[in-house]
Amino acid sequence: MKKIILASLLLASGMVQAAVVEQQVSITKMNTFVFDKPYSTLLFGENAKVKEPIPLIGNKGFLLKVKPEQKEDFQLIVELKNGETIEFTIYPTESNTGFTYRRNRAGIYAEPEGQRARPSDKWCVDTIRDALLHRTPAGFIDGGKPQFAQVGDTKLLPIKRFTNDLYELLIFEMRSDTPKEIQPRDFWYDGVEAIQIEGDIVSPDHRPIIFILRGIEDHG
């Protein structure tokens, strides 16, 4: 598994100095971990039975699916890029709802100052997460494909559109002839509620997917 290392040796050596957090997770649903700073490495205890974590924007979090056979608690250490570490004791449950951990009230999506009244963060996260996992978000229907769009020299090629009475989720493949770093705020405009990008670089060899959740009333 990428970026997954057994934590037992590090813990035994005393090399890891970490804040300790007790966290429940579901073994039936996807769980979300969100940090206020990017992480570099995930260190799982040797008894952990988990699937490959799915990174969120800029490695500021990940989605975690714990396998159903995981019955006992296990350790998880998250190393942040600034050198901080967080040690989790993970307690599996059979909850029908995934759990979310947020460090220091960290958010997943860029929110400009003066953001208007908007749906809850949890609803935005769940909606985009469903699409990320190739599911139709709850309460949405298939809306075909969005229109082609372009921001500067970055082209947004239509992939999928989901819609309900108030919101639409637009999914594009990003392309650019010029390699460059990208962030959600680069594609924010009035009426957008949430953005997630599967990567932080677009180039001829890197074509990340972007998810844009916006209000229909703002765009007709």
> For the chain, what is the mean pLDDT?
82
Taking a C-beta distance cutoff of 8 angstroms, is the pair 128, 177 a contact?
A: no
Q: What per-residue confidence (pLDDT) applies to 1?
A: 40
The confidence score (pLDDT) of residue 116 equals 42
> Per-residue pLDDT averaged across 174-194, rounded?
88
| Interval 58-83: pLDDT, tens | 778 888 899 999 999 999 999 998 88
Collect all residues with Cβ–Cβ distance below 8 Å to 196 and sequence separation of at least 6.
56, 57, 108, 109, 128, 132, 184, 210, 211
pLDDT at 107 (0 to 100): 52
Q: Where in the chain is CATH 2.60.40.1550?
A: 4-104
Q: Tokens for 7, please give them.
A: 């934590």
pLDDT of residue 75: 93
Q: What is the mean pLDDT of residues 186-215?
A: 88
Q: Looking at the chain, how many residues does it have? A: 220
Mean local confidence (pLDDT), 145-166? 91
Q: Which residue has the higher pLDDT, 7 or 169?
A: 169
Determine the Cα–Cα distance for residues 174 and 202; give it in Å rounded to an integer: 7
pLDDT of 10? 47
Distance of CA 154 to the CA centre of its chain: 22
Band the pLDDT of 113: cuts 50, 70, 90: very low
Average pLDDT over residues 192-212: 88
CATH superfamily, with its number, for domain 4-104: SARS coronavirus X4 (2.60.40.1550)
